[in-house]
Amino acid sequence: MTRVIKTVKEWNELYKSENLSASQLGFVPTMGALHRGHASLIEKSVADNRKTAVSIFVNPTQFNDSNDLQKYPKTFEQDFAMLEEYNVDYLFFTSYEELYADKFAYQVHENSFSKILCGAFRSGHFDGVLTVVLKLLNIIKPGRAYFGEKDYQQYKLVKGMAEAFFLQTEIIACPTVRDEDGLALSSRNLLLSPEEREFALNFPRLLKANKSCDEIKFELEQLGFKVDYIEEYDGRYLGAVYAGKVRLIDNVIL
């Protein structure tokens, strides 16, 4: 049975009482609305570690649009059922007041890679991501933490932060999980109408096409997408587009 922990004090007491250690503990941080992509991270953690912890926290400091925050899907009952199905030992399900007692006075900034790609279009987004991830890693104290490659820029920034601050947690990347039709799984997919969901398939299709970034961007715009960027980085094509009002990101290895 998955045990729910809501405060840092409670987690610290459990960590001691159950004789946990970094070498035996894996961690998957999430914002809920769990899907098979999250399940793949959890499966990897359960396979690698004696114990696995998952967090569910919709982090407001990484949203540059308050409407986007309000619309973010919340599916706790289904999420908890998935955690139990996949034999997760602990759920850290805390509050903003608990994590941000400082009211976001202390923040983590990265001054280079976080300013391009998604960072160029979402001011302050990665400050919020890195700050909350650092807090969670310091609280949970895992030996390994698992991140999906769909959010490739996020993964690289978190990995870089862990190395820069000499954290004891190894940041492990897991491959993007896609639906049978090729769309990368994302909690935001729940916000797509059936028509938008079908339309969104053009995004991964064109990313995988043997075309230049400019050609892909042009064709997406001709189809009706609003395109934030299509760029090559680290041997991948990375992109962010809007299908209707829903922002989708994806990347493919060249």
Catalytic pick from 35, 38, 109, 125?
38
Instruction: Determine contact, residues 121/128, Cβ cutoff 8 Å.
Output: no
Return the closest-CA partner of residue 41 out of 176, 135, 136. 176
Q: Rounded to an integer, what distance in angstroms lies between the CA atom of residue 190 and that of residue 188?
A: 5
Domains of the chain: 3-174 (3.40.50.620), 187-249 (3.30.1300.10)
Instruction: Give the pLDDT confidence score for residue 66 in this predicted structure.
Output: 86
Q: For position 64, what pLDDT does the model report?
A: 87
- What residue ranges of the chain have pLDDT lower than 50? none
Encode burial over 215-254: b for 16+ CB neighbours within 10 A, e otherwise: ebbebbeeeebebbbbbeeeebbbbbbbbbebbbbbbeee
CA angle (245, 248, 253) in 5-degree steps: 160
- Residue at 68: amino acid letter: D
Can you give the pTM of this predicted structure? 0.95
Spell out the SS3 assignment of the chain.
Answer: CCEEECCHHHHHHHHHHCCCCHHHEEEEEECCCCCHHHHHHHHHHHHHCCEEEEEECCCHHHCCCHHHHHHCCCCHHHHHHHHHHCCCCEEECCCHHHHCCCCCCCCCCCCCHHHCCHHHHCCCHHHHHHHHHHHHHHHHCCCEEEEEHHHHHHHHHHHHHHHHCCCCCEEEEECCCECCCCCECCHHHHHCCHHHHHHHCHHHHHHCCCCCHHHHHHHHHHHCCEEEEEEEECCEEEEEEEECCEEEEEEEEC
Residue with tokens 């946990």: 20
Q: Are 176 and 150 in contact (CB under 8 A)?
A: yes
* pLDDT number for residue 65: 85
Q: What is the pLDDT of residue 67?
A: 87
CA torsion 136-132-226-250 (nearest 10°) is -30
User: In the prediction, which pLDDT does 168 show?
Assistant: 95
- 109 annotated active-site: no
